[in-house]
Structure 1
């Protein structure tokens, strides 16, 4: 196994965190809604009130268009390196989908919004996400050597 090194990017991480937090606050102010990415996406692709689709489409479009903004500002697309195979990405996505379903939300809904509201359920969900994430990374990198 070649060592997988995680880039330490405190400034970019801070800017990203501020943008996520600001978007969560703005969504709450404008729509009175919690910003959970999976809930936004599922509400966009499932049938429901049509008046609810506009802000959801705008949020998803904003999430997708981020790299295009980087391209416009810097002249190059951001480099994304995924140090695992496509089957591993698919398995990971499937596992995340199961967790989101059983956890009634994702890290943006529970970790950002729920924690800010001091929701006990969100604190428990976020702690569970983090413990499972740490354990998964340990097993994949140090036990399986992937």
Structure 2
């Protein structure tokens, strides 16, 4: 991934999160948006479904334009377990990385700052363990 594509993606994510907050009064935390699909409040389901379809559609569109693949070397049981663990972590952390990192930090939330520091520390430890202690080249 080039620096330009990473920069462009970051800018687009920031603009989308800002637009959702300004025009819809909602925070672009993906776990909260998914969790809110269960609500029966009028007008809530439509924008949530549109957001998630746009999220997936954007990824598919970029893969088609660049010719990249989304194939994972992990098996389906490992991917399912990872999804369950991510879901558990978002409930435990009262939000996901997108909600805390993109939106929470942008709103100067102390709770989000602490959450992001924990996310980053966990990522550093995970990389260190998988690359240096377990002998893997993950």
TM normalised by structure 1 equals 0.82
Deviation at 1:59, TM superposition (A): 0.3
1:37 to 30, 33, 40: 30
Deviation at 1:10, TM superposition (A): 1.1
- SS for the counterpart of 1:114 is helix
Instruction: Evaluate the alpha carbon distance shift between residue 143 and residue 87 of structure 1 in structure 2; reply closer, same or farther with a 3 A threshold.
Output: farther
2:45 is aligned to: 53
Q: For residues 15-54 of structure 1, what are the alpha-carbon distances to aligned partners after superposition, in whole Å with 9 as ceiling and x for unaligned?
A: 110111010010011111111011111112x133131111
1:137 is aligned to: 127
Q: For residues 85-142 of structure 1, what are the alpha-carbon distances to aligned partners after superposition, in whole Å with 9 as ceiling and x for unaligned?
A: 4443333323222211111001111000110111100000000011011111221232
**Distance in 2 between the 1:98 and 1:18 partners?**
28
> What is the RMSD of the two structures over their aligned residues, measured on CA atoms?
2.0
2:110 is aligned to: 120
Kindly tell me the number of residue pairs found equivalent between the two proteins. 136
- SS for the counterpart of 2:26 is coil
- The 5-angstrom pairing of residues 1-146 of structure 1 reads 8-44=1-37, 46-70=38-62, 73=65, 76=67, 78-146=68-136
Deviation at 1:71, TM superposition (A): 5.8
Unaligned runs of 5+ in 1: 1-7
